[in-house]
Structure 1
Amino acid sequence: MESCAPEKTRVRNPEEPPSRLPGDLVVWFFVGLELATFGLLFLAFAFTKLMQPVVFAVGQASLDQTVGAINTLLLISASACAAHTLANVRAGRHRAATHWLGAALLLGLGFLFFKSREYMDKWQAGVDFASNDFYMLWTILTGFHFMHVVAGCVIFALLLHPVSRGRYNAQDCNALESGCVFWHMVDLLWIVLFPLVYLLV
């Protein structure tokens, strides 16, 4: 015999924001487009590697995996800081949010510093875009990603002032959410790029 008792429904806190995708819908379309673009580049890298295994093995052996691992840690840490920024803004702790966002920006700049050093070392060793197919694809993939990190750092820098002024709150933080979504995409792309280009032989 079935029970006639009414089902319990979850009562939403009036102060709790409604369930939705964070950030602007345009940002999500952009994220989808960028993921598709990088997906094609990843496939091109994997296919060319199958065609030229020796060239790619020699090229990968010349890359600094330690620096790549450091950059991975920097990006993941920056994503964590961005998430803490958003959580503190929603909780009304704007001073703490400012500190977390500043930390995310510094970590992103750290990535750019180490990546620039890697490019400089390769250039000084006589390696450039036209050296072979491995370095061409390495330059395209990491260079395109580098530009996204630059864009992410610019976004964080632009958000820093309004966050410090308490411009955003739990009901109005769309711009901050969009910036965090973009950065998480940048982080995700590197998490795929690093093992594919630096580790898998």
Structure 2
Amino acid sequence: MSATECEQEGSGWGILEDLPGDPMIWVLIFSELAAFGLFLGAFVVARVIHPAVFAAGQAALDSRLAGLNTVVLVTSGWAAARGTNAARAEERPRSRGWLIGAMALGSLFVAIKLVEYGGDIGRGIGLETSTFFTLYFLLTGFHLLHVCLGIVILAVVWRRAEPIGVETGTAFWHMVDLVWIAMFPILYLVR
């Protein structure tokens, strides 16, 4: 098949072409969702094996801070979506404003999570406290790393506020939201 024939056939991305943003971000998103799914699956299996350890671990967590962080992160996703809508309408200043709001709320999420970690560590809770806390810190730390990466991605696309870039950054940001929405009840609420 010649290059011209390939161009006529499309880019070869199939279903990914219909998703917002650059198709490569969706490859990353799907791989990250698989990784988080495996981590959460391991957490659930370990809970079944050690129910008393996990019940004690959950009881030591601050679900109020985690609930606040859920509201903060979901609101940041809403702001990022508004930024995407503004970018699509070629309203770059509005798009940038919404992206700044999303990044600020993402930064607030990081600050609240660090306060929560500080409280845990202050009470003598760490990675080696129990199986629950080993998995808790690994899962939430991995997620926190993704929040920080998402803030960097939003900052990069903020500069030009072009629709494809904003869509790409917002798609990653929504993945971060989605993962937290799944993690929050599993880690903090489900007994």
Q: Which residue of 2 aligns with 1:39?
A: 37
Residues 1:85 and 2:75 aligned together: no
Q: Which residue of 2 aligns with 1:193?
A: 183
User: 1:30-62 deviations in whole A, cap 9, x for unaligned?
Assistant: 111111111111111111101111110010011
Measure, in 2, the Cα distance between the counterparts of 1:34 and 1:28. Answer: 10
User: 1:108-129 deviations in whole A, cap 9, x for unaligned?
Assistant: 0000000011111111111110
Large movers: runs of 4+ above 6 Å:
none
Cα RMSD of the aligned pairs, angstroms, is 1.1
Structure 2 stretches lacking a partner, 5+ long: 1-16
Measure, in 1, the Cα distance between the counterparts of 2:40 and 2:159. Answer: 37
- What TM-score comes out, normalization by structure 1 length? 0.84
Residues 1:157 and 2:147 aligned together: no
The answer to whether the Cα contact below 8 Å between 2:87 and 2:166 also exists between their aligned partners in 1 is no
Q: 1:121 aligns with which of 113, 119, 122?
A: 119
Question: What displacement does 1:177 show?
Answer: 1.1
Structure 1 stretches lacking a partner, 5+ long: 1-18
Question: What displacement does 1:134 show?
Answer: 0.2
Equivalent AA in structure 2 for residue 199 of structure 1? L
Question: What displacement does 1:92 show?
Answer: 2.0
The answer to whether the Cα contact below 8 Å between 2:158 and 2:166 also exists between their aligned partners in 1 is no
- What TM-score comes out, normalization by structure 2 length? 0.89
More helix by share: 2
Equivalent AA in structure 1 for residue 158 of structure 2? L
Equivalent AA in structure 2 for residue 188 of structure 1? L
Larger Rg: 1
Q: Which residue of 2 aligns with 1:22?
A: 20
1:45-64 equivalent positions in 2, closer than 5 A: 45-64=43-62
Give me the identity figure in percent. Answer: 38
Which has the higher mean CA deviation after the structures are superposed, 30-39 or 106-115? 30-39
Question: What displacement does 1:91 show?
Answer: 1.2
User: 1:174-196 deviations in whole A, cap 9, x for unaligned?
Assistant: 22111000000000000000000
Q: Which residue of 1 aligns with 2:165?
A: 175
Measure, in 1, the Cα distance between the counterparts of 2:74 and 2:87. Answer: 20
Equivalent AA in structure 1 for residue 189 of structure 2? L
Q: Which residue of 2 aligns with 1:7?
A: none
Measure, in 2, the Cα distance between the counterparts of 1:194 and 1:39. Answer: 13
1:102-121 equivalent positions in 2, closer than 5 A: 102-121=100-119
- Paired residues, what number? 175
Question: What displacement does 1:158 show?
Answer: 2.0
Measure, in 1, the Cα distance between the counterparts of 2:73 and 2:142. Answer: 16
